[in-house]
Amino acid sequence: MALIPFDDRDGSIWMDGEIVPWRDAKAHTLSHGLHYASLVFEGERVYAGKIFKGREHTVRLRQSSKLLDFDLPIPDDAVDAAKQAVIEANNIVDGYVRAYCWRGSEMMAISAQQTTAHLAIAAWEWPSYFDPETKMKGITLDIASWKRPSPESAPVHAKAAGLYMICTLSKHEAERKGFQDALMMDYRGYVAEATGANVFFVDDAGTLHTPIADCFLNGITRQSVISMAKSMQIEVVERHIKPDELGAMRECFLTGTAAEVTPVSRIGDYQFTPGEICRKMVEGYSALVHA
């Protein structure tokens, strides 16, 4: 399949208060967000023309920007309205929305108090992150050499561009080795998350175990799956998980806006068999987002 660059597509993007042709949505190359990673973003799914938990994503986008010491330039209601306008302008029925806010080019230095906060929203058709056949078989994960940083080292609860640098490096390394993604540990050596999704494990008793989100994003999909599992009377335990505990787990799956619920068949040398719990989570989440 030919690669279609994201700067050369048909359609429209909402940028700084107006809908503009896709190819005209540009930022200056000396924007602070590009050079110093002062950019935050959200990835959101559209199902049947409606964003799943759109307000929760808007709220988190604002929280992320404040953690980086700036703010969205418009109220939450206006952000939600702009997202809907973009969906309609691009005739998106089932797809993906990317809302992002960054510091502009008024200052090119570490200090950036006088920069303007820019906001843009794009949307495009996007099927499941992993194709259905691969998803049900379970994907494979390498164990990354990079670790999620301490809350004392970075604004770990912001969905910020700079925090994804080590995710890109980890995923590239995993793909070179034949894996589809990578599992990252945290700064203490506990299991953290994949490069762009949270992780869950299932033990022999059918209990779900997932890492405490104390140094990485408490994903909106993660929260939805925990709530859904509890409604199914499935016990969920949030705790610190040591890597050597993976051998005692029988199932594993990832959760995220892009990944949705994706079973895992292998992490490094550890093998998993997607089974009843994975099926319940995949089917339950599909029903939830299409409700």
Please name each of the domains of the chain with its CATH number: 12-125 (3.30.470.10), 132-289 (3.20.10.10)
pLDDT tens digits for 17-70?
A: 999 999 999 999 999 999 999 999 999 999 999 999 999 999 999 999 999 999
If pLDDT is split at 50, 70 and 90, which confidence band does 10 have?
A: very high
E strands, the chain, are 12-15, 18-21, 39-47, 50-51, 95-103, 117-125, 139-148, 181-186, 191-194, 198-202, 208-211, 236-239, 251-256, 260-267, 270-271
| 171 catalytically annotated | no
pLDDT in the model for residue 1: 60
159, 171, 177, 230: the active-site residue? 159
pLDDT tens digits for 139-197?
A: 999 999 999 999 999 999 999 999 999 999 999 999 999 999 999 999 999 999 999 99
pTM for the full model? 0.95
Q: Does the pLDDT value for residue 90 go beyond 90?
A: yes
pLDDT in the model for residue 218: 97
Q: Does the pLDDT value for residue 133 go beyond 80?
A: no
